[in-house]
A and B are shown apart, each in its own frame.
Chain A
Amino acid sequence: MAFRTLRRASAASVIALYLLAVSGCGTTDPPENSGQPDVDAQQECQDLAAQVEDGEDSADDRNDAGGETADTFIFGSSASPITLNPLHASDSDSFRVAHQIFETLVEAEPCGPGPSPLLATDWTSSDDGKTFDFTLRDDVTFHDGTEFDADVVCWNFEHWNNQPEGMAQSADITYHWSTLFKGFGDDSIYESCTTSGDSEVTIELNEPFASFVNALAIPAFSMQSPEALEKWGQIEDGGDPTATEYATAHPTGTGPYQFSSWNRGTSVNLTAFDDYWDGPPKTPHVTIKTIEDPQARADALRTGDVDAFDLVAPGDVPGLRDEDFTLIHRPSYNIQYLGMNQAAPPLDDLRVRQAIAHAIDREQLMKSTMTPGSEAANQFVPPVTNGYSDDVTEYEYDPEKARQLLEESGYEDLTIEFNYPTDVSRPYLPSPQDTFNQIRNDLQSVGITVVPVADQWSVYLSKIHGGEDHGIHVLGWTGEYNDADSFLGAKFSEETPEFGFTDQEVFDQLAEARGLPTPEEQEPAYQEANEMIMDRLPGLPLGHGVPVLALAPRVSGYVPSPVEDESWDTVTVREE
């Protein structure tokens, strides 16, 4: 008898414990704005960059103050790199490694997306946007001792243009070359590369590409050692270029760190390149450790298993700040938007789309679902982009107006489907469930009934991109180089199932802008495109997310970049 009661009581208590555990999941209300300080990511970045330049954060100062610096900087990344040859990569984890091992002709300027000298010290472009002259830096060597000079630059360009057929030309592998240069061999817009001495090189294109120099900051266009590639980088016919010996064991660049070992799926280890042209890096070893679960990443920082990690979830920000971890906010270079499928009536009625635009409180959305410093957006490109317009039609938060518009169009009792992904976290959309909840609440308070359609990421994408019936959805985009086309081109160049948007005028405007030869000439054309898009409202830009990095207090000298162009040669880790 007693035994049976004991069993029942324990069973009950275990059930209670279990319920307690799972009750924490799946809240329907978005998190409160817990009094987070206002963050000006741009200003913060400028200050950090200035500090590093002035050497205030240098190891020497720290040593003078009596502290030792650690041997290794350990960074926690969310996924494993796919390959160490950046030409064949487009994921941010492969690029993160590439930023330490390789260098490009130009790099992103501190805190911005525009170009700044790196392996090229100066450049000019012709008025027709087809010819570009570069002056190269002297005294640069690759990790294997090869000299970097004009011949190497041309070798690299030819190598990129003449990738073997098969996987190496596949758009999902050699994404950046095939997208920006439109193809390989005779199909590409690349024409030729000529040298004049060791330090002067001229690239010729057969079509204008105004943002060519900006685009060269992308790690896919890193300068790689011809000798190393010839020795280890042979790709068999149709073979997988990401699996060559070069790409898995001998990536050879000019950067501050050289490759040491790759424990696939677990960690990449790099070690200082002592002959780096700008002097050896401050911390001799770097390890990039893969920790897939976001919670486990934050915990790894707390226990000291890593010194820093990327993409802090908005919900973790206050906690980490309270525990005195350093939070670094990358100036935003992405867009979060609400897509509205015009193939699904009544979303084809402009007044309905406008009503939805007026119904959503974007400021509040940013405050309660995004990281600090994230700002509401009024067009599809961030403010620092060339082509950002100050004259777009604004849709201020006005629920009354929203209701009015719905009445006018005869849809006071509108019911629409709202698609969103459940298990993913993007820099522009860290917590899709919270974003969905907030927007749904806003829409419901103007009388719109929302039918939620939640799906796993790849299923969600196939619905949005695959032309199936879908209503409104939340998605976004991260820019990679300073060009409005980096944002608008992918979404509004042609009709896509995502928006059901068929406005030929906009497509033409973008095509025209793309073809103009210089960024200065492109600016007004892109501004006009942005204005047109905001008038026709295929989607509603919601905000620009600020990706957040968390660092242990013992780390200093980390300068963030909106396009993740972050090289760690200035980072020091204080020994504890």
Chain B
Amino acid sequence: MLRFVVIRLAQLLPTLFGLSILLFAWVRALPGDPAQALLGDRATPEAIDRINETYGFNEPLLTQYGMYLAALFRGDFGESIRMHEPVLSAFFDKLPATIELSVVALAFAVVVGVPLGYIAGRRAGTNVDGGIVVLSLIGSVVPVFFLALLLKYVFAIELEIFDSVGRQNARLDATHTTGFYILDGIINVQFAAAWDAFKHLILPGLALGTIPLAVIVRQTRGAVSEVIHEDYIRTARAKGLRSITITVRHVMRNALLPVVTTLGLQLGLLFSGAVLTETVFALDGVGQYLYQAIQDRDYPVLQGFILLIALLYALITLLVDLSYGFIDPRVRES
């Protein structure tokens, strides 16, 4: 097991190295430059030169890359050109919001998707199956920003059921220890604050959750429809086991394996920062910060954030692979 982890982590290094080169080249290939973006309408040729000098943008590319790599080895991801805050701390500052949103979105997708997938799988080929599949396609077909705006207008503005903007009502003056607002509310025994933070995630979670929902429904449906035709299910029925027992202990346990894989991958994808959802609901997460960085041509942020997201995604996939061993004894043996 340990060998497995070490090998996987070692394999990560060349990937990240290659990615850092690609990112370095890509940000510099974007038209426009950070000096111009920073100075805005106040730009003068002298001021632009001064900024380029300060950040070394006038140096030859290889030198710039060398300095960047050297800093990276020291754990120094640089500073945002616009915000002047260290990229690494900005990333970990924004990550909790994105994680919270992703978890809520995924939870919704699982809670709604797995049962729907099961029903569709059991009744494969019928109208019910068709209807469920089409419903789940909403996520893949309807653009997230449209759904986000629609939900916001109907439920937050017209019906006033949910709050629309931000992660929490500023007037609550909640204490934040971890940056995960729901968790903070619980830890600090400020349950109203925790509930408020959760309420702020309902609409964005719903909007964002439609993306993994489609995948989860299809995956579960496929897995279930396969498993129920297996011999051992026929045996179980023949043995006279109750329907519930068959469903939970035999069908779902086997069907869920591919679904778990999907969950891990979906979570990783969501982490890469639901940019549009975060923007519409003003959730201060990685996606929104990255979007602003693209506008600003903020090279250190673009390079650093994307590298860190890739790292995070790779770690999640590793965890998913490890979890196989726990779920499926057949994998453990090999």
Binding site for B on A (CB under 8 A): 2-3, 6-7, 10-11, 14-15, 17-18, 21-22, 71-72, 74, 80, 82-83, 90, 167, 170-172, 175, 240, 242-243, 263-267, 287, 289-293, 295-297, 299-300, 302-303, 305-306, 423, 426, 455-462, 465-466, 475-477, 490, 496-497
Q: How far is the CA of A477 from the CA of B31 in the complex (A)?
A: 24
Q: Which of A3, A15, A292, A455 contacts B130 (CB 8 A)?
A: A3
List B contacts of A291 (CB < 8 A). Answer: 165-166, 282
Select from chain A the residue with minimum beta-carbon distance to B165: A300
Q: Give chain B interface residues in 138-191, CB to chain A under 8 Å.
A: 138, 141-143, 146, 149, 152, 156-157, 160, 163-167, 169-171, 176
With A290-B284, A305-B170 already in contact, the answer to whether A461 and B165 are too (CB < 8 A) is: no
- Contact (Cβ within 8 A) B170 A458: no
- Contact (Cβ within 8 A) B130 A6: yes
Q: How far is the CA of A119 from the CA of B281 in the complex (A)?
A: 41
- Contact (Cβ within 8 A) A458 B50: no
With A240-B84, A264-B93, A296-B280 already in contact, the answer to whether A289 and B296 are too (CB < 8 A) is: no
Q: Which of B36, B46, B134 contacts A6 (CB 8 A)?
A: B134
B262 interface contact, C-beta 8 A: no
- Contact (Cβ within 8 A) A476 B41: yes
Q: How far is the CA of A488 from the CA of B187 in the complex (A)?
A: 57
With A458-B296, A461-B40 already in contact, the answer to whether A167 and B54 are too (CB < 8 A) is: yes
With A291-B165, A305-B163, A458-B32 already in contact, the answer to whether A296 and B282 are too (CB < 8 A) is: yes
With A18-B146, A465-B36 already in contact, the answer to whether A299 and B130 are too (CB < 8 A) is: no
Q: How far is the CA of A465 from the CA of B157 in the complex (A)?
A: 42
Q: How far is the CA of A6 from the CA of B284 in the complex (A)?
A: 40
Q: How far is the CA of A2 from the CA of B280 in the complex (A)?
A: 38
Q: List 5 A-B contacts (CB under 8 A).
A: A423-B295, A457-B32, A465-B44, A475-B41, A490-B44
- Contact (Cβ within 8 A) B166 A292: no
List A contacts of B165 (CB < 8 A). Answer: 291, 296-297, 299-300, 303, 305-306
Count the A-B residue pairs with Cβ separation under 8 angstroms: how many? 173
Q: How far is the CA of A264 from the CA of B96 in the complex (A)?
A: 13
With A7-B130, A74-B170, A266-B284 already in contact, the answer to whether A18 and B160 are too (CB < 8 A) is: no
Q: Give chain B interface residues in 287-314, CB to chain A under 8 Å.
A: 288-289, 292, 295-297
B42 interface contact, C-beta 8 A: yes
B257 interface contact, C-beta 8 A: no
- Contact (Cβ within 8 A) A300 B164: yes
- Contact (Cβ within 8 A) B164 A305: yes
Q: What is the interface size of chain B, counting residues whose CB is below 8 A from a CB of the partner?
A: 68
Q: How far is the CA of A72 from the CA of B126 in the complex (A)?
A: 58
- Contact (Cβ within 8 A) A14 B79: no
- Contact (Cβ within 8 A) B36 A302: no
- Contact (Cβ within 8 A) B134 A7: yes
Known: A243-B84, A300-B166, A490-B44. 18 other contacts (CB 8 A): A11-B134, A22-B146, A83-B84, A172-B39, A172-B50, A265-B284, A266-B284, A290-B284, A291-B282, A292-B279, A295-B280, A296-B165, A299-B157, A303-B156, A455-B31, A456-B32, A462-B36, A465-B44
- Contact (Cβ within 8 A) A14 B166: no
Select from chain A the residue with minimum beta-carbon distance to B47: A171
B198 to chain A, nearest CB (A): 16
B69 interface contact, C-beta 8 A: no
With A74-B170, A267-B170 already in contact, the answer to whether A172 and B51 are too (CB < 8 A) is: yes
B96 to chain A, nearest CB (A): 11
B145 to chain A, nearest CB (A): 9
Chain B interface SS verdict (over half):
helix
- Contact (Cβ within 8 A) A3 B41: no
- Contact (Cβ within 8 A) A293 B280: yes
Q: How far is the CA of A319 from the CA of B168 in the complex (A)?
A: 26
B33 interface contact, C-beta 8 A: yes
List A contacts of B176 (CB < 8 A). Answer: 263
B85 interface contact, C-beta 8 A: yes
- Contact (Cβ within 8 A) A289 B170: yes
Select from chain A the residue with minimum beta-carbon distance to B284: A266
B256 interface contact, C-beta 8 A: no
Q: How far is the CA of A300 from the CA of B165 in the complex (A)?
A: 6
List A contacts of B35 (CB < 8 A). Answer: 172
Select from chain B the residue with minimum beta-carbon distance to A429: B41
- Contact (Cβ within 8 A) A292 B282: yes
B127 interface contact, C-beta 8 A: yes
Select from chain B the residue with minimum beta-carbon distance to A497: B45
List B contacts of A18 (CB < 8 A). Answer: 141-143, 146
Q: Which of B46, B79, B94, B146 contacts A265 (CB 8 A)?
A: B94
Select from chain B the residue with minimum beta-carbon distance to A266: B284
B49 to chain A, nearest CB (A): 10
Q: How far is the CA of A264 from the CA of B85 in the complex (A)?
A: 9
Q: Which of B39, B166, B169 has the most CB of A within 10 A?
A: B166
List A contacts of B279 (CB < 8 A). Answer: 292-293, 296
Q: How far is the CA of A240 from the CA of B83 in the complex (A)?
A: 11
List A contacts of B163 (CB < 8 A). Answer: 303, 305
Select from chain B the residue with minimum beta-carbon distance to A247: B84
Select from chain A the residue with minimum beta-carbon distance to B276: A293
B84 to chain A, nearest CB (A): 4
- Contact (Cβ within 8 A) A6 B84: no
Select from chain A the residue with minimum beta-carbon distance to B43: A465
With A291-B166, A303-B163 already in contact, the answer to whether A461 and B36 are too (CB < 8 A) is: yes
B82 interface contact, C-beta 8 A: yes
Q: How far is the CA of A175 from the CA of B38 in the complex (A)?
A: 12
Select from chain B the residue with minimum beta-carbon distance to A459: B32
With A6-B127, A18-B146, A243-B84 already in contact, the answer to whether A462 and B33 are too (CB < 8 A) is: yes
B192 to chain A, nearest CB (A): 16
Q: How far is the CA of A300 from the CA of B163 in the complex (A)?
A: 8
- Contact (Cβ within 8 A) A2 B84: no
B269 interface contact, C-beta 8 A: no
B119 interface contact, C-beta 8 A: no
List A contacts of B296 (CB < 8 A). Answer: 458
A485 to chain B, nearest CB (A): 14
List A contacts of B85 (CB < 8 A). Answer: 243, 264
- Contact (Cβ within 8 A) B152 A299: yes
A116 to chain B, nearest CB (A): 26
List A contacts of B84 (CB < 8 A). Answer: 82-83, 240, 242-243
A333 to chain B, nearest CB (A): 15
- Contact (Cβ within 8 A) A458 B282: no
List A contacts of B170 (CB < 8 A). Answer: 72, 74, 267, 287, 289, 305
List A contacts of B90 (CB < 8 A). Answer: 264-265
Per-residue 0/1 for B38-80: is the Cβ within 8 Å of any A Cβ (1 yes, 0 no)?
1111111111101100100000000000000000000000010
List B contacts of A22 (CB < 8 A). Answer: 143, 146
B304 to chain A, nearest CB (A): 15
- Contact (Cβ within 8 A) B127 A477: no
- Contact (Cβ within 8 A) A458 B157: no
Q: How far is the CA of A490 from the CA of B43 in the complex (A)?
A: 9
Q: How far is the CA of A289 from the CA of B170 in the complex (A)?
A: 8
A13 to chain B, nearest CB (A): 10
B260 interface contact, C-beta 8 A: no
B23 to chain A, nearest CB (A): 18
List B contacts of A3 (CB < 8 A). Answer: 125-127, 129-130
- Contact (Cβ within 8 A) A461 B41: yes
- Contact (Cβ within 8 A) A80 B33: no
